[in-house]
Amino acid sequence: MSNIKVAIAGSGGRMGRALLEGVLQSGDLALHAALEQGASPLLGKDAGELTGGACGVKISADAAAALQGADVLIDFTRPEGTLRHLEICQKLGVNMVVGTTSFTAQQKAQLGSAAQQIGIVFAPNMSVGVNLTFKLLEMASRVLSHGYDIEIIEAHHRHKVDAPSGTALGMGEVIARTLGRDLAQCAVYGREGVTGERDPSTIGFATVRGGDIVGDHTVLFAGTGERIEITHKASSRATFALGALRAARFLHANAAGMYDMQDVLNLK
């Protein structure tokens, strides 16, 4: 069986380097392309140098040329860049693993439309542990649906540009869906001053940014006389990279369509 040919967007970034390392260390994946923005000083360099050794694949800004012949593109960049890559992948029949966050509803609809032609795994967090946590939150929400206030606390490194994190929002969506609520209507993203008593139907979010925290998430179910906390802590980006590579393998074995990590991990 031939290796799965993987392209990586944003290869010079923190996640991109973790993905490069994961692909180059795997036995069943082959690095087909490494993409970066047009102004990147890394263009033309061997992608393997970012992880300590040469691999023969040059970093390129020409996505249309670089993606020719690829099986799957893994993209953890920004919505605008991901959607540009989406258009190219549609034309070339290249599957996508999308870990990009902060999409608008309209942009998510574009992903859904493209999934009629190509396979897409789209998830706010590719970590196997986080996606198991999503399942645990679904179970907990059913049992703790009355009499428990729900708060989501997340912490990330100082360089993260969006808040709350896509993972925190994903957790909120799982809980709201299980409880029959609309997260857009029940989410509270900040409290200051005299806020009044807590509305029991709300889901609160608290954000911490500092240092080099890779990603900590805790969901607190606070009841009368007890608290239940479900926590996931990531200590390395390797966990996200390994999950994304697992998603790439999943797409290689499945038909076109829109999937998430719950599908990849057979948790549905």
CB 105 within 8 A of CB 243: no
Average pLDDT over residues 156-180: 95
Q: Does 214 have pLDDT greater than 80?
A: yes
What distance in Å separates the CA atoms of residue 39 and residue 52, rounded to the nearest whole number? 23
The domains of the chain are located at 4-126+237-264, 128-234
pLDDT tens digit sequence for 41-97: 999 999 999 998 899 999 999 999 999 999 999 999 999 999 999 999 999 999 999
Q: Please state, for a pLDDT cut of 70, what percent of the chain lies above it.
A: 100
Half-sphere CA count of 120, side-chain side, radius 13 A:
26
Omega of the bond leading into 124 within 30 degrees of 0 (cis): no
Q: Please state, for a pLDDT cut of 90, what percent of the chain lies above it.
A: 95
Question: Identity (one letter) of the amino acid at 146?
Answer: H
Q: Span 4-126+237-264: which CATH code?
A: 3.40.50.720
> Which residues face 35 on adjacent strands?
60
Residue 52 has a pLDDT of: 87
Fill in the DSSP letter of residue 48.
G
Q: Does 8 have pLDDT greater than 90?
A: yes
For domain 128-234, is the CATH number 1.20.1440.230?
Answer: no
Question: Identity (one letter) of the amino acid at 4?
Answer: I
DSSP 228-254: EEEEEEES-THHHHHHHHHHHHHHHTS
Average pLDDT over residues 140-157: 98
Residue 124 has a pLDDT of: 82
Q: Does 2 have pLDDT greater than 80?
A: no
As a whole number, the mean pLDDT across the chain is 96
What distance in Å separates the CA atoms of residue 121 and residue 175, rounded to the nearest whole number? 21
Catalytic residues: 156, 160
Residue 102 has a pLDDT of: 87
Q: Does 24 have pLDDT greater than 70?
A: yes
Fill in the DSSP letter of residue 68.
T
Half-sphere CA count of 21, side-chain side, radius 13 A:
17
